[in-house]
Structure 1
Amino acid sequence: MTRYQLAERKVDDYITYVLTDAEYPAEAHLVPGLGNNLFRFSVNNQEVFVSPEKISMIRDASARFGNPILFPPNKIRHGSFSFNGKKYQLGLNKGEHHSHGELRVRAWNVIDRGAKADRGAFVVSEFDFADHPDLLEAFQARLVFRFTYVLQDGVLRLEGEVKNESAVAAPFMLGFHPYFHVKQGHEQQTIMQVSSKLEWPVNEEGFVDGSPTSTDLCQQLTKGLAYPDMPKGRDHAFVTVGNGTTSCELIDQQESHKIVYEFGDQFPFMLVFQPSWNNSVSLEPYTAVTDAFNLDVAAEQTGARGLEPGEQFVFTHTFRVEKL
């Protein structure tokens, strides 16, 4: 049997790709037609992500399963902001605000795929604003996203490129929303570990409400915070990660394994979120804080930035399961 395989399946009227590494064994499931969501990943029968019972559930709730792609991440107040002296208006998809962007639900185009001994199983997908006139108009620039998911040596890797194909700078805010599975009955022994330097105050609507400070919760997350020990009345914390931090971990002491998420040094902010609708924790790396362009805080601190004409933003994320 060939170690690496790629299978194409039609499920709930959507084409999905199953990437397999037979040695571990490990499997990754991708649905390009619904936001290019990597909705399932398992290693040696350990589920890494919370996956839907049906693929169609991603269509109806595109930010609640797997690893949604966020552009922009989180909320934009009233969907509007300014960048380089220009006003931008995004669609209102969360009441009177904009939330999580459109890339998480729209169809991506598969431009290459395969399985090779020296590369693993892989799928290359692309999302071009030129194919979406409303996004081209909203962002006033043509951005092209090319993401490659690779399963190799039991590790899931995301190789990402975002290029500005326009003659003008484009506002840039990218994030991811992986839902890491917390096993029923293991909550007390599940530890969230995120090296955290500063915590951003967040109001009831989920918007940043001031400058960040060092808090007790930062220290707890850095040392490792048990899943049930998030402060009462809160389901999330938004932090600037520690200097030099490029990864976070979800540790299941009862199962004697941990999920290690490597997100690199280009995503210096993280939202730690415990959803009410499933047993998971979402460790969400962002390039910028929520609604960064609307904050009265220096861009050097918020991550608000542009992508210059012809500029590429290149990154690599990895997900792996390790024994303790």
Structure 2
Amino acid sequence: MTNAITIHDQQSGARASIAPDLGFNCFQFQVDLNGETVQVIDSPEDVLTNPPRPSSFGIPVLFPFPNRIRAGQFQWEGKDYHVPLSPGHPNAIHGFCYDRPWRVVEQSEDSVTGQFQLSIDDPQRAACWPADFILSIRYRVAENRLETQFRIENPSPTALPWGLGTHAYFRLPLSANSQPEDCTFGVDVHEEWELEESLPTGRRLPLESSADRPRAVTFGTRTFDNVYTGWETDGETVRTSVVDEKGGLEINQVCDGRVFREAVIFTPANRNAVCLEPYSCVTDAMNLHHQDLNTGLQILDPGEQFQTWLAIQVSPIYA
């Protein structure tokens, strides 16, 4: 049986559970509102005794690349790199951290911090990336909010190219008084990356009509596996939303607008869940980068570090 760490906020009763051996996946976040317990994140009940595919539940962490790298191959500073293909797929998917054990480096009643270093925690894949990296994540529960702090460090003598994403599965409905089709979800975006076989062509297509923009989509009316950009921001943050109007509840995922610029919406088949995935760069950025496209790919110099954040907030809807 896989071990889990549960953190909680004494005042509100909100709590979250994280599995360090399953990619430091936060597989449960629940809050008490409107007289009921809201299960925010979708995971199977037997996740600890019978873990499913690592990217199919909870909140997988995607680093140093989110989504796909075409055929698991790219070139960086004149050198060819080969990333192992994901089982059953023609591409490499979702990075090196989501399917490996992490080390817990700090823990308290309301927070836990995990760390993953490529050369230590997955040395077999260390040669697959241009530089070593250390990714630290701190989860903290505060009132009805799950806060996530990311710190990326480059301990190598060479530059570190990186992209970061999360892959939260939001469970629907939010209330026992509702049905999944009573819920809407959305992201306020203005462009979509054109895809061929799930990989961007490099073209950004404007979403010219309000009907094309996935701002408030009723669950069950459309299927998604789309990569969006042109995210509406207040200058500091971007957000995704899930609204259960009948249940009087909503979820806002608020992200660092300096970093998160792409948004993937994915509706897994035959599940009452939706994935709203903030990314710092587009799918296959390691290859599109060479086409002089604005991919969002970031580069961290030797010895430098970078920090960013996102948070998931559950709130009542006030009439």
Mind listing any 5+ residue stretches in structure 2 that lack a counterpart? none
Q: Deviations over 1:222-254 (max 9, x none)?
A: 542222232xxx432211012445111111111
Name the CA distance, whole Å, in 1 between partners of 2:39 and 2:24.
Answer: 19
Displacement of 1:79: 0.4
CA distance in 2, matches of 1:297, 1:227: 37
Cα gap change, 1:114 to 1:42, in 2 (>3 Å): same
Residue 310 (structure 2) aligned to one of 301, 317, 324: 317
SS at match of 2:138: strand
8 Å contact 1:74–1:290 — kept in the other structure? yes
The structural deviation recorded for 1:293 is 2.2
Paired position in structure 1 for 2:272: 279
Alignment partner, residue 30 of structure 1: 18
RMSD across aligned positions (CA): 2.0
Q: Distance in 2 between matches of 1:312 and 1:202?
A: 32
Letter in 1 for 2:161: P
Correspondences of 1:8-23 after superposition (within 5 Å): 12=1, 14-23=2-11
Q: Which stretches of structure 1, 4 residues or longer, exceed 4 Å deviation after superposition?
A: 216-220, 296-300
CA distance in 1, matches of 2:164, 2:170: 19
Deviations for 1:201-237, whole angstroms, at most 9, x for unmatched residues? 112x21112411212577554542222232xxx4322
Assess if the C-alpha contact under 8 Å between 2:289 and 2:297 holds in 1. Answer: no
Q: Which residue does 1:7 correspond to in 2?
A: none
Tell me the equivalent position of 1:206.
Answer: 198
% identity of equivalent residues = 27
Residue 263 of structure 1 aligns to a residue whose secondary structure is: strand
Out of 307, 310, 320, the position equivalent to 2:300 is 307
The letter of the residue matching 1:122 is S
Note if contact 1:190-1:253 (Cα within 8 Å) is conserved in structure 2.
yes
Structure 1 gap ranges (5+): 1-11, 116-120
Distance 2:264 2:166 in 1: 10
Distance 1:271 1:252 in 2: 21
What is the count of residue pairs matched by the alignment?
303
Aligned position for 2:105 = 111
Shift of 1:295: 2.3
CA apart distance, 1:179: 0.3
Q: CA deviation at 1:143?
A: 0.2
> Of 230, 243, 256, which residue of structure 2 is paired with 1:264?
256
2: distance between equivalents of 1:165 and 1:96? 31
TM-score (normalised: structure 2)? 0.88
Between the aligned partners of 2:71 and 2:296, the Cα distance in structure 1 is 20
TM-score, normalised via structure 1 length: 0.87
Preserved CA contact (<8 Å) 1:196 1:218: no
2:140 — aligned with what?
150
Q: Aligned runs of 1:49-128 on 2, under 5 Å?
A: 49-56=41-48, 59-71=51-63, 72-94=65-87, 95-115=89-109, 121-128=110-117
Q: How far apart are the structure 2 equivalents of 1:280 and 1:257?
A: 16
Tell me: CA distance 1:143–1:283, structure 2 relative to 1, closer, same or farther (3 Å).
same
Deviations 1:167-188 (A, max 9, x none): 1112211111000011286233
